Structure 1
Amino acid sequence: MRLMAFDYGTKRIGIAVTDPLQIIATGLDTVHPNVIIDYLKKYMATEPVERFIVGEPKQMDNTPSQSAQHVRGFVNLLKKQFPEIPISMLDERFTSKMASAAILAGGANKKTRQDKGLVDTVSAVILLQSWMEDIRYK
């Protein structure tokens, strides 16, 4: 079964998944929050998901950021729609900057680097990789 990570935003949600053996994290898509549940139901009809990992927005002093309330609402929606799937939260500080740097390092042109959807998807990949590394090395 796969793991699935989300970089939640009020305009876009970046989504990443693992392969069935949970070895490799890959960007899946970026979707609008209004369609996320339908998207997930369609995806999970063919691909079983074992766990959701959601980026937790925090300030530098470790307190919740302004967007934390929106993420809590998203997590509650996931719990209501998919009660059988456990949810793990992971600090998402710096993931967008790391994603932008990774896209730049990959040689992307300026137009590609400015694609906010791509940044959100790569951020979700970074979250998922970080979670897998944390679990693997504990």
Structure 2
Amino acid sequence: MGRILAIDYGKKRTGIAVTDELQIIASGLATVSTDELISFLKDYIQKENVELFVIGEPKRLNNTASESESLIIPFLQQLSKEIPTIPVQRVDERFTSKMAFQTMIDSGLKKKQRQNKALIDEISATIILQSYLYSK
């Protein structure tokens, strides 16, 4: 069994989370500059067996695509060209940033630490991945 890697795609930064090899636990992996995302993914899959990419799908409350989706579509096209062997699954990512922020509060992080947007992105990716695992 390979790992599942989740991506919380952002204009500047992208949060990444990954499962263990048994696909039981979702853990934050990193936050990378979106410009370096494809090369990061290529490097990662050279070292680890990844069988699926789970990518957040931003939606509005009325279930239509949010404006962020227009940034994700070109990335998805590039990803399928650059890494065609790994399938992609989309997961609704509504409220993940708010949930990530609340998780930081609940875990006792100080205000200064909660302002770390990279950490919010990584936690959001973990929430997206955990949501996917629950739905399986």
TM-score w.r.t. structure 2 length? 0.97
Matches within 5 A, 1:101-116: 101-116=102-117
Q: Distance in 1 between matches of 2:62 and 2:92?
A: 12
CA drift at 1:50: 0.3
Secondary structure at the aligned position of 2:39 is classed as helix
Q: Partner residue of 1:11? A: 12
Structure 2 residues without counterparts, runs of 5 or longer: none
Q: Partner residue of 2:88? A: 87
CA drift at 1:76: 1.2
Q: Distance in 1 between matches of 2:45 and 2:86?
A: 11
Q: Provide the alpha-carbon RMSD of the alignment.
A: 0.7
Q: Partner residue of 1:130? A: 131
TM-superposition CA deviations, 1:59-78 (whole Å, max 9, x none): 11111111111111111111
| 1:37 paired to 2:38 | yes
| 1:59 paired to 2:91 | no
CA drift at 1:115: 0.5
Q: Distance in 1 between matches of 2:108 and 2:13?
A: 24
CA drift at 1:40: 1.0
TM-superposition CA deviations, 1:32-70 (whole Å, max 9, x none): 111111111111111010000000011111111111111
Q: Partner residue of 1:49? A: 50
Q: Distance in 1 between matches of 2:89 and 2:43?
A: 22
Q: Distance in 1 between matches of 2:68 and 2:123?
A: 19
Secondary structure at the aligned position of 1:20 is classed as coil
Secondary structure at the aligned position of 1:45 is classed as helix
Q: Distance in 2 between matches of 1:46 and 1:134?
A: 27
Q: Partner residue of 1:23? A: 24
Q: Counterpart amino acid of 1:76?
A: Q
> What is the aligned residue count?
135
Q: Partner residue of 2:99? A: 98
Secondary structure at the aligned position of 1:5 is classed as strand
> Which runs of 4 or more aligned residues in structure 1 lie more than 2 Å from their structure 2 counterparts after TM superposition?
none
Q: Percent identity?
A: 50
